[in-house]
Structure 1
């Protein structure tokens, strides 16, 4: 799976042409903001975790950090990130391109409250040099999220 899987995913809504691809890397929050010409906080980064044998993706604002205590309260387990060499296998997408679209079956997606302060955000699209601009209602719809969580800190 890759950007092609994400494009195929967005074809259901005739939105694949909204995906932007860059000649430079957008794999980090800083690189993505530079490629898009926006503030880093508007980059919707997707963090990959393991909880009770399940893969969980949490989409959060570029300036938010994971608050371990909030995570434990929400998920009743310690925050354990997916190891770098397992990200592709478990999510179907490469590090730097992980997003809530076109992912492997069984992966659970949550959206962090840190995103709600923006009209639009920019999640990746399955590669280390892609993104799409979505409104928060669009992100809710197209991510098939299981709901909103509040596990972020440092953005208030």
Structure 2
């Protein structure tokens, strides 16, 4: 059902974007980077987070971690990751395929600034072996995402 909702999303809003289904899993950032021949940072991972009483989707670079302090500053609440079953119930996407497209529940979508260094990103597409190649700004536009800064750069980037 989830892959179907993502395909329906693109058929309605961006028929030029192809959902890519691979034989191998792309359920983690390293696997997705290998499957789509991109740098792991170019994978646009989507996490479902509870902020107080609100549940939000956050899309960020595959190598960026959620910064709890920045999250609290933006949402005035401590982030709480949801269990896989709850994520799937809210989004219709299984863990490993969570994305901001074809989401079952109306919830706010945010894009972290860590994505802006890429013209093209590769987010999942509703299944652990499905993804799309999409322009970063176009992804934000199609999903109605709001740009925020809640990411923590990878350790090696922070040391530079």
* TM-score, shorter chain, exceeding 0.5: yes
Q: CA deviation at 1:129?
A: 0.2
**1:55/1:91 contact within 8 Å kept:** no
The aligned residue for residue 3 of structure 1 is 3
Say whether residues 1:132 and 2:132 are aligned partners: yes
The aligned residue for residue 154 of structure 1 is 153
The aligned residue for residue 88 of structure 1 is 88
Normalised by the length of structure 1, the TM-score is: 0.94
The aligned residue for residue 59 of structure 2 is 59
CA distance in structure 2 between the aligned counterparts of 1:96 and 1:138, rounded to whole angstroms:
22
The aligned residue for residue 117 of structure 1 is 117
**2:17/2:133 contact within 8 Å kept:** no
CA distance in structure 2 between the aligned counterparts of 1:79 and 1:16, rounded to whole angstroms:
35
Q: CA deviation at 1:14?
A: 4.7
Q: CA deviation at 1:128?
A: 0.3
CA distance in structure 2 between the aligned counterparts of 1:97 and 1:120, rounded to whole angstroms:
18
Structure 2 unaligned runs (5+)? none
Q: CA deviation at 1:25?
A: 0.3
CA distance in structure 1 between the aligned counterparts of 2:128 and 2:139, rounded to whole angstroms:
19
Structure 1 unaligned runs (5+)? none
**2:17/2:132 contact within 8 Å kept:** no
Residue-by-residue CA offset, 1:18-71 (whole Å, 9 max, x unaligned): 111000000000010010011100000001101233220000001100110000
**2:84/2:94 contact within 8 Å kept:** no
Normalised by the length of structure 2, the TM-score is: 0.91
The aligned residue for residue 19 of structure 1 is 19
CA distance in structure 2 between the aligned counterparts of 1:140 and 1:106, rounded to whole angstroms:
16
CA distance in structure 1 between the aligned counterparts of 2:76 and 2:87, rounded to whole angstroms:
22
The aligned residue for residue 47 of structure 2 is 47
Q: CA deviation at 1:92?
A: 1.4
Across the aligned residues of Structure 1 and Structure 2, the Cα RMSD in angstroms comes to 1.4
Q: CA deviation at 1:16?
A: 6.7
**1:7/1:16 contact within 8 Å kept:** no
